[in-house]
Amino acid sequence: MDYVSLIRDIPNFPKEGIIFKDITPLLANGPALAAAVDDMAAPFKDKNIDLVVGIESRGFIFGPGVARELGCGFAPVRKAGKLPYHTESLTYDLEYGTDTLEIHVDAVVADHRILIVDDLLATGGTAAAAGELIAKIGGIVSGFSFVIELDFLEGREKLGSIPISTLIHY
Ligand SMILES: O=P(O)(O)OC[C@H]1O[C@H](OP(=O)(O)OP(=O)(O)O)[C@H](O)[C@@H]1O
Ligand SMILES: Nc1ncnc2[nH]cnc12
């Protein structure tokens, strides 16, 4: 699938100097969306994943589809103040600022194998924070699956030796 032609560059969004990768053309294309979800799940089909964790907000678009493909459930990692039950929380640096992520304390079963899903890996701060949160509540982070990776930001350096799958590299 030619994903690259379905991702639009938006210069200087949301801040001067950032080239934002807009995935909405890909989302609007039925075959491309289905292929992206399949391709994100494929490397993890035989990895005994127990739960997919998606990161707000664009991880919520792909995560449940990937979970369905893997035959497991889904749990959200959300921005601060959005989750209703008791949470673990972590503040981290973004390509364009800082943010705080939270997860419900009972989101994972102890020692279950977790796949983290998001649309894009940039500096890796978000994915690393999600991984730390899952470890704090007893899960085993067993993979990361992204649509896009911005190689020049070296985000995968923050994710250690855990398997990472990405559909498109820039
Ligand atoms: O690798 P990093 O440098 O941490 O950046 C990647 C994160 O940035 C974007 O989300 P954003 O924080 O813009 O939130 P959104 O999905 O709610 O728009 C993207 O969807 C990732 O979650
Ligand atoms: N350049 C970028 N485009 C889209 N989402 C992002 N998240 C972090 N950096 C981004």
Separation between Cα atoms, residue 131 and residue 128, nearest integer Å: 5
Nearest-atom number in ligand 1 for the CA of 128 is 4
Tokens of 65: 């589809």
> What was the pLDDT predicted at 95?
67
CA of residue 76 to ligand 2 center, whole Å:
19
> What was the pLDDT predicted at 98?
86
pLDDT digits (tens, 9 = 90+) for 20-38: 999 999 999 999 999 999 9
Q: Which position has the token pair 């500096």?
A: 123
Separation between Cα atoms, residue 132 and residue 108, nearest integer Å: 13
CA of residue 46 to ligand 1 center, whole Å:
28
What is the model's pTM?
0.97
**Whether complex ipTM tops 0.95:** yes
Going through the chain in order, the beta strands assigned E by DSSP cover: 8-11, 19-22, 51-55, 73-79, 87-94, 97-104, 113-121, 140-149, 164-169
Domain ranges of the chain: 46-169
Mutate to test the pocket of ligand 1, among 7, 22, 57, 154 (most ligand atoms within 8 A of CB): 57
Q: By three-state DSSP, how is residue 95 classified?
A: coil
Q: Whose CA is nearest to atom 12 of ligand 1?
A: 94
> What was the pLDDT predicted at 44?
98
Task: Assign residue 57 a region (left: φ > 0; alpha: ψ between -120 and 50; beta: otherwise).
Answer: alpha
Angle between helix 59-70 and 30-41 (nearest 10): 60
The residues annotated with a catalytic role in the active site are 58, 95
pLDDT digits (tens, 9 = 90+) for 114-132: 999 999 999 999 999 999 9
Tell me if 123 sits within 8 A of 95, measured CB to CB: yes
Separation between Cα atoms, residue 168 and residue 66, nearest integer Å: 17
Tokens of 137: 């509540």
Q: Whose CA is nearest to atom 21 of ligand 1?
A: 120
List average pLDDT for each run of 10 residues in the chain, which is 170 residues long: 97 94 98 98 98 98 98 98 98 82 98 98 95 98 98 97 98
> What was the pLDDT predicted at 94?
78
Phi/psi at 168 (nearest 5 deg)?
A: -135, 135
Q: CATH says 46-169 is which class?
A: alpha beta
